Structure 1
């Protein structure tokens, strides 16, 4: 686990912390930079840093192997971001919440691995950061009895690892509780592995947005509607 997870720091708080550090660095480096741009750059940096920490160890290691290419890839991302911002500005849709299609590729349901395939894959390679009940009790102050009650009620996603041991994806917790909507998703997609895979991948039904991110923002209804479309007949 990384430092801010051990300290119980929320992802949004971590992103804000990175953003503030970047803003301070910019203010010191370029006194002529305007405040709105400084804030935007900080927000971009914080969001990216936070997103990287939620990647699976496999994907983090993959990023580690392309250090030399990162500046070029980052430049492409920023140019695409600027182009999308200009498009929205010209169209008068600055408040649009859907991500640009040039930045996020929609994932069709048929492209997701099947549940049988997931059983043969290491959890850490596709589920992001996970933890057992001991970690959750010590760091998020979630009592084992509470965790087991949530699990029985289908209010939290538990992934079996090995024999009878279960681990819990950390991204489903906000302020020590599972986000609202998990139970509804599990009622539609009963396989926990398939449900979590769907929750953590860009969804075509949500215009490329990631379902778990929306649940963390209390946008439950949209996610449930998308899950209904995705759910096996």
Structure 2
């Protein structure tokens, strides 16, 4: 996604040096990748903003620059280390610490778009029998919602099938909520990349290796 943004900026003649161009593309790509996983209320609030994005963005960068300067002056980081800005990323915390709070959170607030078997059969053409077979074999992420009902995150499907490597991740991180939480957040162990995006691009080996180490 960042590469697509970079190409677009270059095509429109953006007057940026090479380093700034890469930074702008990376940040724009990260924003676009993060939006689908925001709670619905936050997505609606962002969509309601009709103008003023330039001022909001400028204020954000001013704030971040000030925090970097303060971190440098306070010397909180060791030599050669980058300052820690803002709260720690969720992926940096041990997965076991997330178990209890995930159980008490609404799926819609953290898991992205999910759907039941009826929707998947109608829109993705995945028969219920196939979906349930994948679930029994641990080949698809199924999140319990309510009593016995399960819903399935849509981002895990590629061409009507679970992304390759999903079963290996579920074998390593056996709690579906924890597994999906990890799959959809930037991972420090993967240089900030999002595991589910890597699986969708057939980058399986690194994702599975890290999942096994975390388990």
Q: What TM-score do you get using the length of structure 2 for normalisation? A: 0.68
Aligned 8 A contact 2:37 2:111 in 1: no
Q: Deviations over 1:113-157 (max 9, x none)?
A: 521221111000011110001111111111101101111111100
Aligned 8 A contact 2:142 2:150 in 1: yes
Does the alignment pair 1:175 with 2:177? no
Aligned 8 A contact 2:95 2:214 in 1: no
1:163–1:67 distance in 2 versus 1, CA, 3 Å: same
Q: After the TM superposition, which parts of structure 1 deviate over 4 Å for at least 4 consecutive aligned residues?
A: 40-51, 64-69
1:122–1:176 distance in 2 versus 1, CA, 3 Å: same
Q: How far apart are residue 160 of structure 1 and its match?
A: 0.4
Distance 2:182 2:25 in 1: 30
> Which stretches in structure 2 are left out of the alignment for 5+ residues?
16-21, 65-83
Aligned 8 A contact 1:56 1:129 in 2: no
What is the RMSD computed on CA atoms of the aligned residues?
3.9
Q: How far apart are residue 111 of structure 1 and its match?
A: 7.7
1:56 to 25, 39, 43: 39
Aligned 8 A contact 2:120 2:126 in 1: yes
1:204 to 146, 169, 188: 188
Q: How far apart are residue 55 of structure 1 and its match?
A: 3.1
Q: What TM-score do you get using the length of structure 1 for normalisation? A: 0.64
- Specify the alignment match of 2:124 in structure 1: 140
Alignment: residue pair count? 186
Q: How far apart are residue 228 of structure 1 and its match?
A: 1.8
> Which stretches in structure 1 are left out of the alignment for 5+ residues?
1-11, 35-39, 81-100
SS at match of 2:94: helix
- Specify the alignment match of 2:19 in structure 1: none
1:65–1:161 distance in 2 versus 1, CA, 3 Å: same
Q: How far apart are residue 47 of structure 1 and its match?
A: 7.6
Aligned 8 A contact 2:37 2:110 in 1: no
